[in-house]
């Protein structure tokens, strides 16, 4: 059962971009009696996306990346504990049933809060100044769709094989009464419908005419329409539509949406990162290529991701890192795979300690107060190029220019050909540590790559790719 929370507490230290004061519990009617109250509720939802059960851990760097074969795990259970179970897709253990429950319940509690906002906003239009009604409603719809989409990708069936199989419930009302689980095709339609409506509402988004505005207002006025890369802006919603359309196999629409974002990026809204900010700044590189991030969360304690999962000083405790053979022979080594150790994604994000390399994407910048130091990428420009490539044709040959454009902006030479495996290597290089690899394999229904030995890589199956619905849902 989903958990009802009438108001979300806004956390201290959330960053100036939120431009609201922390609050504890406010009566629902009082909260939603002002424009600022609607903004506070919306901002609270964004902040709660950083929860460890969602994108502050489980759905970015931890659980979902292990399922996607990103990490080489050790055999010592006293160190690796339950991680070997999830790496073997043993979803039924008590620990992982509990963990999936927590992720599900947190996601649906935030969906409930989206629906609280949406249930009240149309009757309160007179409260809003400028285009804020459209922006707030559009972002709330997009958040509702995004959260449903990730629960759908995780717990729903392999869509390409079973589009009519039962999947998840979709909540469009502010209610704690359980909704029915519906066929995958119905849920997909609702996700795309919400995103489409959100995109229309966000047609007045200042990101379209003014860019991402990643600085505070110079005159001290509200920052609500600033920091657009930290919100589900118009182009972020368009990118989600590209992602969702590809998921359901509508390559024509996926390509069209990806192209729109690419055109905006080419026009200067999300420019490819300047090489000087990456390789020319060895003491403080822009490891997340921040100018290319279409939507990111802002997490004041992002360093915890590095400290908890990747910091080599944690040894002999568990530290996540790529299989050494996969790293050296396929992803960033091996010319026949498109690998290159001079790749920007390798040079700044992987640091050698002894004979091993460790993942530093989420380590602190020297200037820890920089807004870039709080960003957890959720959607980035590189994915749009890869979606455009994947959407072109069955043999992928027409998609090669998109992959090579991306590669040229990563400091590596062109590929001569493109097939599914080479495209997957490029996805791994681009999106490693961002929670998208398991979903890539599920969408394509191909083996999960976690080592150079093909025989050891898990073969695709409905059992691997479909996580059972949580106990809290099946018991209701």
Over residues 245-285, the pLDDT tens digits come to 999 999 999 999 999 999 999 999 999 999 888 877 667 88
User: What pLDDT shows up at residue 334?
Assistant: 81
Q: Number of folded domains in the chain?
A: 1
User: For residue 242, what is the enclosing H or E element?
Assistant: helix 234-247
Instruction: Give the end-to-end CA distance of the chain in Å, rounded to a whole number.
Output: 6
CA distances from 420 to 9, 86, 102, 388, 425 (A): 45, 25, 34, 14, 9
Q: Answer whether 364's CB lies under 8 Å from 450's CB.
A: no
User: What pLDDT shows up at residue 9?
Assistant: 39
Q: Which long-range contacts (CB under 8 A, 24 or more apart) does 402-407 make?
A: 406/382, 406/430, 407/338
Residue 426 domain boundaries: 16-474
pTM of the entire predicted model: 0.93
Tokens of 467: 């996580």
Residue 284 in any domain: the answer is yes
Q: Answer whether 180's CB lies under 8 Å from 190's CB.
A: no
Phi-psi region of 233 (alpha: psi -120 to 50; beta: other; left: phi over 0): beta
User: What pLDDT shows up at residue 283?
Assistant: 75
Considering only CA atoms, give the Rg of the chain. 21
The dihedral through the CA atoms of 380, 144, 43, 257 has a sign that is positive
Residue 354 in any domain: the answer is yes
Q: How far apart are CA 190 and CA 196, in angstroms?
A: 10
Backbone angles phi, psi at 358, to 5 degrees: -120, 150
Residue 116 in any domain: the answer is yes
Q: How far apart are CA 11 and CA 23, in angstroms?
A: 8
Q: How far apart are CA 389 and CA 425, in angstroms?
A: 13
Q: How far apart are CA 143 and CA 137, in angstroms?
A: 10
Q: How far apart are CA 360 and CA 349, in angstroms?
A: 5
Ranges under pLDDT 50 in the chain: 1-25
Residue 333 in any domain: the answer is yes
Residue 9 in any domain: the answer is no
Q: What share of the chain is helix, strand, coil (3-state, %, to 5)?
A: 50, 5, 45
Pairing of strands 293-298, 356-359: unpaired
User: What pLDDT shows up at residue 217?
Assistant: 83
Q: Give 121-155 as a DSSP string.
A: HGGGGGG--TTHHHHHHHHHHHHHHHHHHHHHHHH
Q: How far apart are CA 64 and CA 55, in angstroms?
A: 10
Residue 378 in any domain: the answer is yes
Residue 2 in any domain: the answer is no
The CATH number covering residue 339 comes to 1.25.40.390
Tokens of 364: 């602190």
Q: How many residues does the chain have?
A: 476
User: What pLDDT shows up at residue 26?
Assistant: 58
Residue 418 in any domain: the answer is yes
User: What pLDDT shows up at residue 280?
Assistant: 73
User: What pLDDT shows up at residue 393?
Assistant: 73
Closest CA to 37 of 10, 15, 60, 62: 10
Q: What's the pLDDT tens digit per position in 177-215?
A: 899 999 999 999 999 999 999 999 999 999 999 999 998
Q: How far apart are CA 356 and CA 313, in angstroms?
A: 13
Dihedral angle at the C-alpha atoms of 215, 218, 221, 226, nearest 10 degrees? -20
């Amino acid at each position: 059962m989903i958990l009802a929370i009438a108001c979300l507490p806004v956390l201290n230290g959330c960053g100036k971009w939120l431009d609201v004061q922390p609050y504890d519990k406010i009566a629902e009617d009082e909260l939603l009696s002002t424009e600022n109250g609607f903004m506070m509720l919306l901002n609270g939802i964004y902040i709660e996306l950083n929860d460890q059960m969602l994108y502050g851990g489980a759905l970015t760097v931890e659980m979902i990346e292990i399922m996607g074969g990103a990490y080489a795990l050790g055999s010592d259970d006293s160190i690796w504990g339950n991680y070997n179970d999830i790496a073997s897709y043993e979803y039924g253990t008590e620990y992982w049933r509990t963990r999936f429950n927590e992720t599900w319940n947190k996601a649906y509690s935030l969906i409930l809060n989206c629906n609280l906002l949406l249930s009240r906003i149309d009757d309160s239009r007179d409260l809003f100044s400028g285009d804020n009604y459209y922006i707030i409603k559009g972002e709330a719809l997009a958040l509702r769709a995004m959260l449903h989409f990730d629960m759908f990708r995780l717990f729903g069936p392999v869509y390409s094989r079973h589009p009519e199989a039962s999947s998840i419930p979709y909540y469009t009302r502010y209610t704690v009464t359980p909704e029915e689980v519906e066929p995958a095709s119905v849920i997909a339609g609702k996700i795309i419908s919400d995103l489409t409506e959100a995109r229309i509402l966000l047609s007045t988004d200042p990101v379209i005419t003014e860019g991402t505005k990643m600085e505070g207002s110079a005159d001290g006025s509200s920052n609500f329409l600033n920091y657009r890369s930290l919100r589900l802006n118009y182009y972020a919603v368009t990118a989600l539509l590209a992602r969702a359309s590809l998921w359901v196999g509508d390559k024509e629409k996926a390509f069209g949406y990806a192209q729109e974002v690419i055109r905006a990026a080419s026009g200067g809204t999300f420019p490819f990162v300047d090489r000087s900010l990456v390789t020319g700044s060895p003491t403080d590189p822009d490891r997340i290529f921040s100018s290319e991030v279409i939507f990111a969360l802002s997490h004041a304690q992002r360093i915890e991701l590095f400290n908890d999962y990747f910091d080599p000083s944690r040894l002999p405790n568990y530290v996540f890192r790529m299989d050494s053979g996969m790293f050296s022979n396929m992803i960033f080594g091996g010319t026949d795979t498109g690998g290159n150790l001079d790749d920007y994604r390798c040079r700044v994000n992987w640091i050698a300690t002894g004979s091993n390399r460790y993942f530093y994407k989420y380590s602190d910048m020297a200037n820890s107060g920089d807004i870039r130091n709080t960003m957890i990428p959720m959607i980035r420009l590189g994915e749009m190029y890869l979606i455009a490539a994947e959407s072109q044709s069955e043999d992928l040959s027409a998609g090669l220019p998109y992959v090579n454009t991306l590669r040229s902006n990563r400091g590596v030479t062109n590929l001569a050909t493109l097939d599914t495996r080479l495209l997957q290597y490029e996805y791994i290089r681009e999106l490693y540590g961002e929670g998208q690899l398991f979903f890539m394999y599920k969408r394509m229904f191909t083996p999960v790559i976690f080592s150079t030995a093909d025989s050891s890589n898990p073969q695709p199956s409905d059992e691997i790719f479909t996580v059972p619905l949580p106990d809290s849902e099946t018991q209701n």
